[in-house]
Amino acid sequence: MQNPFAPQNLLRLAVVLSLGVTTIILFHHASGAAVSFQLSTNAFSPGESIPKTFTCDGLDVSPQLTWNDPPATTQSFALIIDDPDAPAGTWVHWVLYNLPISARELAENVPNREQLSNGAHQGRNDFNKFGYGGPCPPPGKPHRYFFKLYALDTKLHLKPGAIKADVERAMQDHIRAQSQLIGLYSR
């Protein structure tokens, strides 16, 4: 039996930071080939302002998001959006999990309900609602909004309505790739 921990079978990780986008790149040790997993949006440029439409000052709808192919072992995706600059500590804006492996996009204005038509579950955000709750910071300097997409090697055994901490606990040891996009918003 081949040793899965032999050097030729291990993956190396590299983190690339560029203009508000963090991409985790997986390198297969034997071939050195890179597999990049990247999250993007047509709503705003990485590291730039999130348009008012996607905030509490506008329509408060979720922006369109897309991503490329994940590692081959991926079974589902999870998405967490939070604001670490909130006055009372990190504020959670969206928790979405069990997105099917076939998904490569979330359309603009995802409905705020427990379960989506593709089977994905939505958790409760810190507004105590299901689905997306857009940026709504107090007046002052811009806040950073981290859009984090995870490629998981399992589906999470959580009912709809889970909070961020539950999802993070369930994802532990199951993350195969991660991508992050940062947007800014101020009032």
In a domain, 28, yes or no: no
Q: Is the pLDDT of residue 48 over 50?
A: yes
| pLDDT, tens digit (0-9, with 9 covering 90-100), for 172-181 | 999 999 999 9
Residue 29, CA distances (Å) to 25, 38, 42, 178 in order = 12, 20, 34, 19
Q: What is the pLDDT of residue 36?
A: 84
* pLDDT 10s digits, 96-111: 999 999 999 999 999 9
77 domain-assigned: yes
Q: For the chain, how many structural domains are there in total?
A: 1
Q: Are 114 and 76 in contact (CB under 8 A)?
A: no
Is residue 179 situated within a structural domain? yes
The rounded distance, in Å, linking the Cα atoms of 90 and 56 is 17
Q: Is 15 a member of any domain?
A: no
Q: What is the pTM of this model?
A: 0.83
Residue 140 lies in a domain: yes
Specify the CATH number for the domain of residue 59.
Answer: 3.90.280.10
